[in-house]
Amino acid sequence: MAAMDLSLQQLRGFVAVAEELHYGRAAQRLNLTQPPLTRQIQGLERTLDVRLFDRTGRGVRLTAAGGVFLEHARRVLALLEVAPEATRRAADGTTGTLRLAFTAIGAYAVLADFLTMVGKRTPGVTAELTELVSPAQFEALANLEIDLGLVRPPIPAQFESLLVHSEDLVLAVPASHPLALGDGAVSLVDVTDDYIGYSPEGSQYLHDICAAMIGMDRYAVSQLASQVPTMLALVRAGLGCALIPRSIMAMGVEGVRYRELDAADAHSVTLHACWSPDNPNPALQRLAESLRLDPRLTT
């Protein structure tokens, strides 16, 4: 009994006939002759086992079922209509999704501004955010699990990258600490207490820099943390001082004071946007292209 299924030709034919209520005109509209149209509708009616038109000798009239099927057919054709354009836009990166990772510390400094910049350069692209430490980001970038990372150096040579932010470190001290009072720059040699250190796994870059600044002997003795809020909580509890990226100062924490470091001790830390040139995501390619042409991050 012909369990044949619907074809788009049938749908288009049906919609044309339903709108014209006249096989001849509908056929003309479809650049067709009338007999094929008749057979298309017949096939449709046989497949659906439903009469779609009342043949009244004088033209045709939609049945109630025909009206329902008309709505469905129109929706199918409308969806089919927009699919190619949507696909092309996804292919050239006009629309799409950017899977973006950031370090816990990086988020505080630049994530919001970076997202704004991405939104301006590639409108229509949405971002999916994940927090990952830098080494995990490099692995995820290589596996195409993310498209873009906000990472600390060093950056493996296989990736393309752009300096996003550079800032120096400041000293966070407990409010009860002698150094909490002054407001000029302090030298690291004035700090006699322990330090709250960065975890060498979670924040290798900051760990290494701080270790170099202070010396491993004193740096290693205290708590290790990688989340900045955790570190500030430990500072506040009086367990020691900490070296913190300047941007974190925006985060006021009761019981914690910040001091500038002497120019001799200051050391800047950087954050980089980083991506794989091999990544096939068109949205990323479009953003990368834009960044190559104009690497400025403002505006």
- Please report, as ranges, the residues that interact with its own copies according to CB under 8 A: 5-8, 47-52, 54, 63-69, 72-73, 75-76, 79-80, 82-84, 86-91, 95-97, 280-283
**CB nearer to DNA: pick between 39 and 72:** 39
φ, ψ for residue 123, nearest 5 deg: -60, 150
Which of the listed partners (its own copies, DNA, none) does 84 bind, with a CB threshold of 5 to 8 Å by partner kind?
its own copies
CB of 59 to its own copies, least distance (A): 15
Which CB, 47 or 94, lies closer to DNA? 47
Nearer to its own copies, 83 or 162 (CB): 83
Q: How far is the CB of 148 from its own copies (least distance, A)?
A: 14
Of the CA atoms within 13 Å of residue 95, those in its CB half-sphere come to 6
**CB within 8 Å of 43: residues ≥ 6 apart:** 2, 4, 10
Q: What sign does the CA torsion over 184, 187, 189, 192 have? A: positive
Nearer to DNA, 35 or 229 (CB): 35
Whichever of 35 and 154 has its CB closer to DNA, that residue is 35
What's the rounded Cα separation, in Å, for the pair 129 and 126? Answer: 10
- C-beta of 54: minimal distance to its own copies in Å? 6
Query: Binding residues for DNA, per CB under 7 A?
Result: 7, 9, 21-24, 31-36, 38-43, 55-60
Q: Give the shortest CB-19-to-its own copies separation in angstroms.
A: 17
The partner residues of 186 in beta bridges, in order of sequence, read 261
Instruction: Tally helices (H) and strands (E) across the chain.
Output: 11, 11
Which amino acid is present at 213? M
CB 15 within 8 A of CB 72: no
